A and B are shown apart, each in its own frame.
Chain A
Amino acid sequence: MKLSELKKQEEAIVKRVNATGDLKQRLASFGLLKGANIRVIDFALGKSTIEIMVDGTLLALRKSEAENIEVEPKWAVTVAK
């Protein structure tokens, strides 16, 4: 599942960050990499920008960036167990 497909207030764990170079580095410096806990806080008008919480940090992302982040929703984890 993509980060951009999550709904408001849904929590998830990052599985994979499909980015390279600069962007990957930037995301990593905010702690947004494999294994990070995230929660979707809000969307801007038209879902063009997404606000998420990554381990205690509030972060804003564009939809195009969020589409490159694969996540596993927390409810999926509980169901699987």
Chain B
Amino acid sequence: MGCNSCEIDKKPQSGLGAIKIALAGQPNVGKSMLINAMSGGNRVKVGNFSGVTVDKMEICFEHHCHHFDLIDLPGTYSIDGFTQEEKVAKDFLMNEEYDLILNVVDSTNLQRNLLLTCELLELNKKMVVALNMADEAKKDGIDIDIEQLQKILGVKVIMVSAKTGEGVDELLDTMHDIVDSGKREHNNLIYSDPLEEEIIKIRKFLDEKGFSYKDWSNREVAIGLLFEQESLYKELHDNPIMIELYPLIRDSLTHIYTHHETKNIKEIKAVEHASIARGIALEVVKQHSISKSLTLTQKIDSVLLNKYLGIPIFLFFMWGLFQLTFTFGNYPMDYINSAIGAFGDFVGSHITNDNIRSLVVDGIIAGVGAVLLFLPNIIILYIGIALLETTGYMSRVAFLLDGFFHKFGLHGKSFIPLVTGFGCTVPAYMAARTLKSEKDRLITLFILGFMSCGARLPIYVLFTGAFFSEAESGNILFLIYISGALLGLIMAKVLRVVVFKGEDEPFVMEMPKYRLPSFKLIWHTVYSNAASYLNKAGTFILLASMIIWFSSNYPKQPELEKIYSVKIEQASTKVAKNRLATELKAKELENSYLGKIGKFSEPFFAPLGFDWRLSVALEAGLAAKEVVVSTLGVLYSVGEVDETSKSLKDILHKNLNIPIAMSFIVFVMIYLPCFAASRVFTKEAGGIKYFVYLFLFTTTTAWVLSFITYRVGLLIFGA
């Protein structure tokens, strides 16, 4: 599966083969930190699997000359549920080949973590349990009897701390030893008496028949049968023993149903696991003092979740994050901008062929450079979001906002992608994965584009600057952002009522303990996100830039050029020469592919007040919003311009009027964000079908609202 560094010798049983480990654990148990601790600096991230929306990740590293190939499954509270993450985890654990399950457990919350451990044990695979956060448990005065826990679970249990590195070597050695030894320890869990009775009945029958299945004990087979493990039934389906087993199982299940007062086997399993977990916790966990971290968490919560202060505090944090993103992000922006300009000049001076130079400098460097420009903002935003996530504050905000969001048909957790959307829509689409319900996730994905991303800012600045005084512009800018967000909420409600009808997603969420953020983990998250932003956006933008460049430069019109070059030569003054040169450029543009597209689509945009230039700028903006301003600049024949260029502002002011400008802003606010975002949306939503819906949905909304804005504008301001 593409794990190059581990493919040197991939025989699991031999001394040097790669050991394939499936890493499973509940959320907030420090899995990622443990991966970092295990792999040290030698971590090779191999990238994502093909999972539609939720990824498993493969990580390879070496320890004492043994290759480890780690599959990081999504953190889930259970593998029996219906969420996508749970399905991904379960599918992998049931169907894929691997050597060992590593179950990571939070020592400070053993009881609840054991619920998943029980489910994993019933898969009957080799397994090791890592009791993570040993250091925190010590601080909290928690003592765990490892020997006893091992006896009860029947698998190796190792105390580790990803933070201090304690036990990590031992864990790696143990995993290796267990994979090397051929034998697997059998599931030792003791269930409730009524269930045990039935297990023993069926096991006895299997023993008498001399039955054996894989490396399972007959007890394990009996448990699998009673818990209706589908894969087991599928495999035993053709076995003659089933004819005799069916009545036995039916009889046993009837007894179990009566005892548990339900016929839902999943529920019965959950109750059984809960009482096993409670029993184990009582037996092996000694708490010497009141948990400090838990009391601290409750103290912090009493402030941050305060009925009246909670939301203002959150808004303050958000405000701070945006201030940082925009103010700090701007410092390096200037440097990057001039560096890109200098680089373009340098490259340009070394290319002799005019066409190639134009492609490289005006097309590729300018286009990709525009994206690089936003990297600092994106990094700051990611640091902020990583902080929110790792400290545990994110869940609190979902708690605070759920009441408000719920009224609009959104889930409290939707706020995370929505906030991210003000920075860049691409990571925002990905952040929507935190939503468990498919409907909530889709609604959030559909309205995310209404949160104006950073790349739209230049357009807003240009148009508000052209038609309003400086004092007004700021307020109008604020108004644009707010109305976008409000529109998003209203649209969410509309989608909920019209399209995504049905039951609401229940809001049941763990509020993890507050933890100090780990610098290493934040660095890893930010680094890998920034790298993928550069990689992916870079490639898309590169392609888009080349297309825009090509379609605005071709087809060449040699005759037109000839006529103008004669005219230019004949012109007497420099001013006249320049005027003719820009006129030529404009004519060429009008006849280029891009110009033709603009003319072709003009009728569609005419009711909104847009001419072919504005139409083509909007279409170019489908590639990236940065392109809109530069396209307008080219189309209005003033050469290269950026948003502060006075001349473009003046030209716009002369050529357009307030109603058109307002209508244009509204359209930009609502329609598709960019090519990169569209790609990510298609992937996250799960198919091209959804992209078509999104395109129709946003374009229609944008058209209708722009139309209204334009008409109302005409009434108020006149043409």
Instruction: List residues of chain A with CB under 8 Å of any chain B CB.
Output: 21-36, 41-46, 48-49, 51, 54-62, 64-65
Contact = CB atoms under 8 A, between A and B. Distances in A.
Interface stretch (B304-312, B349-357, B465-473): B304-312
Interface residues of B, number: 48
Given A28-B271, A54-B112, 19 more contacts: A23-B508, A25-B78, A25-B267, A25-B270, A29-B115, A30-B508, A31-B112, A42-B301, A42-B305, A44-B305, A44-B310, A44-B400, A49-B399, A49-B412, A56-B294, A57-B112, A58-B301, A61-B508, A62-B406
Contacts of A23: 506, 508
A54 to B, nearest CB: 8
Interface centre among A54, A60, A61, A65 (most CB of B within 10 A): A60
Interface string B287-315: 00001001001100110010110110000
B179 interface: no
B511 interface: yes
B402 A48 contact: yes
B267 A30 contact: no
Contacts of A42: 301-302, 305
Contact of A57 (B307, B403, B506, B510): B510
29 contacts: A22-B82, A24-B267, A25-B78, A25-B81, A26-B81, A26-B506, A28-B78, A29-B77, A29-B78, A29-B115, A29-B116, A30-B112, A30-B508, A30-B510, A31-B277, A41-B301, A44-B402, A45-B400, A55-B278, A55-B281, A56-B109, A57-B510, A59-B509, A59-B510, A60-B395, A60-B399, A60-B510, A61-B507, A64-B506
Given A45-B311, A46-B403, A59 B508 contact: yes
A32 B267 CA distance: 12
Nearest to A46: B403
B513 A58 contact: yes
B663 interface: no
B82 to A, nearest CB: 5
Contacts of B400: 44-45, 49
Contacts of B116: 29
A28 B270 CA distance: 6
A68 B198 CA distance: 32
Contacts of B504: 64
B510 A58 contact: yes
B508 A31 contact: no
A31 B78 CA distance: 11
A18 to B, nearest CB: 12
A73 B81 CA distance: 30
A48 to B, nearest CB: 3
Contact of A62 (B80, B271, B307, B507): B507
A25 B81 CA distance: 6
A45 B404 CA distance: 10
* Most chain B beta carbons < 10 A, residue from A23, A32, A57: A57
A64 B503 CA distance: 12
Contacts of A51: 301, 305, 399, 511
Contacts of A33: 270-271, 274
B507 A65 contact: yes
Most B C-beta atoms less than 10 A away, residue of A22, A28, A43, A61: A28
A49 to B, nearest CB: 5
B133 interface: no
**6 A-B pairs closest in CB distance:** A48-B403, A28-B270, A29-B78, A58-B511, A29-B77, A62-B507
Interface string B502-534: 001011111111000000000000000000000
B297 A31 contact: no
A43 B307 contact: yes
A29 B81 contact: yes
A20 to B, nearest CB: 8
B266 interface: yes
B434 interface: no
Contact of B112 (A25, A27, A56, A64): A56
A51 B112 CA distance: 17
A59 to B, nearest CB: 6
B685 interface: no
A65 B440 CA distance: 17
A45 B266 CA distance: 35
A60 B80 contact: no
A30 B308 CA distance: 28
Query: Which of A25, A34, A55 has the most chain B CB atoms closer than 10 A to its own CB?
Result: A25
B398 interface: yes
A54 B277 CA distance: 13
A45 B398 CA distance: 13
Contacts of B77: 26, 29-30
A38 B148 CA distance: 27
Contacts of B310: 44-45
A53 to B, nearest CB: 8
B508 A55 contact: no
B414 interface: no
B268 to A, nearest CB: 10
Contacts of A29: 77-78, 80-81, 115-116, 270
Contacts of B425: none
B631 interface: no
